[in-house]
Amino acid sequence: MTKIALLDYGMGNLHSASKALAAVGAEVSITNDPKIIQAADKIVFPGVGAMRDCMAEMRAQGIDEVVKDAVFNKPVMAICVGMQALFTESLENVRTPCLDIIKGQVIKFDELWVDEAGDEIKIPHMGWNTISGMDLSHPLWQGIDDHTHFYFVHSYYCAPEDESVIAATCDYGQPFCASVIKDNLFATQFHPEKSHDDGLRLLKNFVEWNV
């Protein structure tokens, strides 16, 4: 059974994520203990809330260094604000330095963007939306169809400098990065743990992913 360390720094949707990972066959430890994290096969890095608060808690508990170390040693999956924290900086709270594992910024949705009906988008982007542009031959997307619906809750989106890391996009007035894959790092702006069967399938793919 794959051992997953679900990182606990006080800013994640831990119960839902833990339950979903267990449902697809993982042995889950909710933890900020470096020894347990080092012994895990894989890491899931969640996050909700304001970026400044998330980064402050990560640094206070040493989770920032844990993640930086882990991306060189084992598969890591980041979700929502966890994905945003991987980038160089977020423009939330004026400007918040992040982990700088992926070069790029986290930017607020433009209130002037309009949807297909010509109406201004609502911020936050909340609810079900489709993703597309995935390489469906990649193990992480096995069983996932193009234009599958996933659940989003966010006001900011990631803009990587190197667009080759973008693994899926979503359209909300304009296309934005919904997922990245870089070596053994996988991240989603949407919440797989809240996305029913397709979300569980995606988590199962991560649990079974051999990098």
Mean pLDDT, range 27-47, rounded to an integer:
93
> pTM score, two decimals?
0.95
Q: Which fold has domain 3-207?
A: Rossmann fold (3.40.50)
Mean pLDDT, range 52-58, rounded to an integer:
91
Give the pLDDT of residue 204: 98
- Reported as type and span, the H/E element at residue 170 is strand 166-171
Mean pLDDT, range 78-97, rounded to an integer:
94
pLDDT in tens, 114-133: 988 888 999 999 999 999 99
Mean pLDDT, range 150-174, rounded to an integer:
97
Residue, of 200 and 35, whose pLDDT is higher: 200
Give the pLDDT of residue 211: 83
pLDDT higher than 90, residue 49: no
Mean pLDDT, range 32-42, rounded to an integer:
91
- Reported as type and span, the H/E element at residue 11 is none
pLDDT higher than 80, residue 12: no
pLDDT higher than 90, residue 47: no
3-state SS assignment for residue 160:
strand
Catalytic, out of 54, 57, 80, 170: 80
Of 42-46, 76-80, 93-97, the range with the lowest mean pLDDT is: 93-97
CA angle 47/49/53 to nearest 5° reads 95
Catalytic, out of 89, 154, 158, 191: 191
80 is catalytic: yes
Task: Please state, in angstroms and rounded to a whole number, the distance separating the CA atoms of residues 192 and 185.
Answer: 16
Cβ neighbour number for residue 54 with a 10 Å cutoff? 26
